[in-house]
Amino acid sequence: MKTITRVVLNILILLSLSLVSLNGFAQEAQHEHHHRHLKYAKIKNPIAKTEKSIAQGRKLYEEHCIACHGEGGKGGIGPELTSSDRIHGSTDGEIFHVITAGVAGTKMKGFKKELTEEMRWHLVNYITSLNKNEINK
């Protein structure tokens, strides 16, 4: 084999190897992002999803969350909140946990000090009401 052919072949092999590893990284990053918090999934929502609770949650949302999550949870700086396929899991307990503890290393801070536990559950009730598949959960 001529040297030039060998060099070209080597370059091709290196290129395809790096593509494979890049692809691997991309998948890993996504996996790391979409994850559940099963420990918190079991927490029971103590507040019924009544119209009154949802309205209270909506008011709190408009005061504390709308700047990042947009009107009606349509998203902005923070992710949209209307889909049932959420980054941190979609059970009431998991949503409550994110609102309480925040997400380290992101703009999502925890609201444990700022909002009472009851207020955080009203927020869960409002957020889940944005997805019509979840309202009766």
For binding to ligand HEC (CB under 6 A), which residues are involved? 64-65, 67-69, 77-79, 81, 86-88, 95, 98-99, 103, 106-108, 111, 123, 127
Contacts of 48 (CB under 8 A, 6+ apart): none
CB nearer ligand HEC, residue 27 or residue 114: 114
CB nearer ligand HEC, residue 19 or residue 67: 67
CB nearer ligand HEC, residue 54 or residue 95: 95
Question: Distance from first CA to last CA of the chain, Å, rounded?
Answer: 68
CB of 22 to ligand HEC, least distance (A): 22
CB of 55 to ligand HEC, least distance (A): 15
H-assigned helices in the chain: 3-33, 38-41, 51-64, 66-69, 92-101, 117-129
DSSP state of 16: H
